[in-house]
Amino acid sequence: MDGNGRWATQRGWPRLVGHRKGAERVRELVSASPDLGIRHLTLYAFSTENWKRSTEEVLGLMSILGRYIRREASRLKEEGARLRFVGDRTRLDPKLQSLMQWIETQTARNDRLFLNVAINYGGRDEILRAARALAAQAASGDLDPAAIDEARFGAALDTWHTPDPDLIVRTSGETRVSNFLPWQGAYSEYEFTDTLWPDFTPAHMAAILDRFKLRERRYGGVAQ
């Protein structure tokens, strides 16, 4: 979800206004996802690199997240969405961590939409944490290094509960992946759109999905 800052700056508004508008778009997309045929949705909300931003912006983003959790809890339940977080949450404010834990528990029985929000997430950081965890098990004799295959490694990642993404969309005209799901996205299709995230509606997503459905995916094989 990229482009919140530029969206606000273009209008002469503080960047946080763009982030707030972006959160509204999240709500719309989450509500529209089941009808769009999306069962698993992972949103990149805050990266391991985003700590470099001003304290004001970081705190503002964290407070938008806390408010989203509090305000959306009942809607997520009504809509059958199960919300989980990926990323290293240990660095986050303990109050926010308990709120995250709370909403995960509150929505744990829902299965219409599996919604993941990536907070303090970085793909390399995730891979390192998984590698460390597996190395510790191997060092203590609980795991044979030869038994570490793709399935085992994938199960040590934050996204152990989610299938690899079919499609990864980046908004705002940047054509980089920026550390988002590098392991899981190995065979994903990518779509880049110039639309800034605060302008990105379910209709934009529907158009992207229509294009995606026409793509032929061979996973290294040959066309049938």
- Contact call for residues 130 and 178 (beta carbons, < 8 A): no
50 given a catalytic annotation: yes
Residue nearest to ligand IPE (CB): 5
**Nearest one of 62, 127, 73, 64 to 97, comparing CA atoms:** 62
Return d(Cα 138, Cα 205) in angstroms, integer.
43
> In whole angstroms, how large is the CA radius of gyration of the chain?
18
Between 3 and 123, whose beta carbon lies closer to ligand IPE?
A: 3
Please report whether residue 27 would count as binding ligand IPE according to CB under 6 A: no
Stretch that binds ligand IPE, among 4-12, 32-40, 101-109, 176-184 (CB under 6 A): 4-12
Sequence-distant (6+) residues with CB within 8 A of 180 are: 44, 47, 118, 121, 123, 168, 170
2 given a catalytic annotation: yes
Token couple for 14: 């503080």
Between 42 and 130, whose beta carbon lies closer to ligand IPE?
A: 42
Which residues 151-210 are close enough to bind ligand IPE by CB under 6 A? 172, 197
Between 46 and 114, whose beta carbon lies closer to ligand IPE?
A: 46
Please report whether residue 72 would count as binding ligand IPE according to CB under 6 A: no
